[in-house]
Amino acid sequence: MGCMKLITAERTLPLFDVAGIRHIETTAAAALPSHTLMQRAGLSVARLAMALAPHARTIWIACGPGNNGGDGLEAAAQLQARGFRPVVTWLGDAGRAPPDTLRSLQNARAAGVRFDELPPETFDLAIDALLGIGASRPPAGQMAAWLARMDEGPAPVLCVDLPSGLDADTGRWTGSFTGSGTAVGRAPRHCLTLLALKPGLFTADGRDLAGNVWLDDLALRHSQAPTAWLSGRPAAQARAHGSHKGSYGDVIVVAGASGMAGAALLAGSAALHGGAGRVFIAPLDPAAAMLDVGLPELMFRTPDALTFDGKTVVCGCGGGESVRAVLPRVLSTASSLVLDADALNGVAADTALQQLLAQRGARGRDTVLTPHPLEAARLLGCNTAHVQADRLGVAQTLADRFCAVVVLKGSGSVIAAPGRIPNVNPTGDAKLATAGTGDVLAGMIGAALAAGRPAFEATYATVWQHGAIAQAWPAGLPLVASALAAACRNPAPRD
């Protein structure tokens, strides 16, 4: 058997798209006796089911007509042999079942597994073995009704390989019985993914639908190149005793139009707490106060009084329309640049600014873009549905078009750069869904760039840390952006 493990945010791990998984599967199947992979998968599902519900009186296994259903049938036979009482509802036809699925059906029947047309009235664990990576249609009819029954019930749900209806590559949810972005059901959810990890489990709708993700590689070894990386904990980086504030660079925050001064202060606070040597605030509101008594370390200047060359600039947080006037100079002269919020909207609306942005990369100047889905859609001239339907692809398109590192924010933020395999960030939760947390992220990235770290590594590490702070926040205590900024720690790249 392979090694089953719970996936955490500690280690950097490879992610594989459906094409890569198919290659791994086909190569392995050619070298193994028939039915071997399904036997291993079914046993793995049974082992995890027994661990999740060791005292279960009834385990309901909903099986689809294909090989995902075959994994569920094999698990039923294994559970029955170990004294459990699984109840199987199967949507397949023995006359049309794939060969391996037919063998698992025969095994389940020979073991005495109970088959019913309807789900049991009560159950202690539900196993979703309806649709896998080969699904070409969303759940419908009886299949959708069974998924809704699992989703609404109190019993834990264990998904085999993928939650049925989830796109393995994109994390897009194709079903209709629950909505994206809402809490999924009342019970704990688990997903045992097989052979290798899939990107869709960790971005878009994937994290809500999959819950705790487990991996069993089914004892296969391969050399397939990954589609993406799941970010792991960045290595700590100590500061040298002989360093000084100049060693960690200057950050200039150009932000805070009229009525939005707080955005600039949040970004500045995050840059300070993230380790920048000095932080300057250049308010876009001429009437803004030029002192923050709560953070006297922040130095205030008008934008015209500052030179951006040799500096890291964080631009756009709460910038409104005012930021557009300063964008040409920022894009042309900042040594390192983080563009957020209204700066991104300004670039999206002006082709001349888009050209200046793309030219920065050609001049070897680092730029990090931090769009949420709507801002990404504006930059690409599409809609948010298009962005959310392919988050990895959209992030890479933006990175290539603008010669920049891109953080496509959201559940499972994607970090992309030209010529790099993208990262999917596993940290963060809904506590970040509050005003100002994006400003904090921009300031944190600015601090990492000012310290001289490579843009991609600095960005992926900062995004990981930003999310980890939120996840570690005390339960029941609201997370406000100012507290998030104060909790920042200096992120570091991988060893």
* pLDDT at 489 > cutoff 70: no
Average pLDDT over residues 359-367: 95
> Residue 238: what pLDDT?
85
pLDDT at residue 77 tops 60: yes
Percent of the chain with pLDDT over 70: 96
Statement: 4-230 belongs to CATH 2.40.160.40: no
Q: Is residue 493 packed enough to be buried (19+ CB in 10 Å), middle (13-18) or exposed (0-12)? A: middle
- Residue 186's pLDDT band (boundaries 50, 70, 90)? low
Q: How many residues does the chain have?
A: 495
Give DSSP secondary structure letters for 210-263: H-EEEEE-TT----PPPSEEE--PPPP-PPPTT--GGGG-EEEEEE--TT-HHH
**480 contacts: CB under 8 Å, gap ≥ 6:** 434, 436
Residues 276-290 have pLDDT tens digits of: 999 999 999 999 999
pLDDT at 452 over 80: yes
142 contacts 77 by C-beta, under 8 angstroms: no
What class, spelled out in words, does domain 245-486 have in CATH?
Answer: alpha beta
What pLDDT digit, counting tens, does each position of 22-47 carry?
Answer: 999 999 999 999 999 999 999 999 99
What average pLDDT score do residues 452-480 get?
Answer: 96
Tokens of 228: 């993406």
> What is the distance between the alpha carbons of residues 87 and 80, in angstroms, rounded to a whole number?
10
CB 398 within 8 A of CB 380: yes
pLDDT of 492 strictly over 50: no
Confidence check: pLDDT of 181 > 50: no
List b or e across 405-415, with b for residues whose CB sees 16 or more CB atoms inside 10 angstroms: bbbbbbbbbbb
Mean pLDDT of 214-243: 94
Q: What's residue 491's pLDDT?
A: 43
* pLDDT score of 490 more than 50: no
Mean of pLDDT values over 159-180: 84
What was the pLDDT predicted at 1? 56
Sheet with 86-90, strands from edge to edge, namely 4-6, 212-216, 189-194, 157-160, 125-129, 59-63, 86-90, 114-115
The answer on pLDDT for 175 being more than 80 is no
Note the pTM of the prediction, 2 decimals.
Answer: 0.95
Q: Are 148 and 126 in contact (CB under 8 A)?
A: no
Task: Write out pLDDT tens, residues 79-110.
Answer: 999 999 999 999 999 999 999 999 999 999 99
- 291-345 pLDDT, tens digit per residue, is 999 999 999 999 999 999 999 999 999 999 999 999 999 999 999 999 999 999 9
**CA–CA distance, 442 with 409 (Å, rounded to integer):** 11
Domain ranges of the chain: 4-230, 245-486
Please give the pLDDT value at position 180.
Answer: 37
Asked whether this chain's domains 4-230 and 245-486 adopt the same fold, the reply is no
Per-residue pLDDT tens over the stretch 1-16:
568 999 999 999 999 9
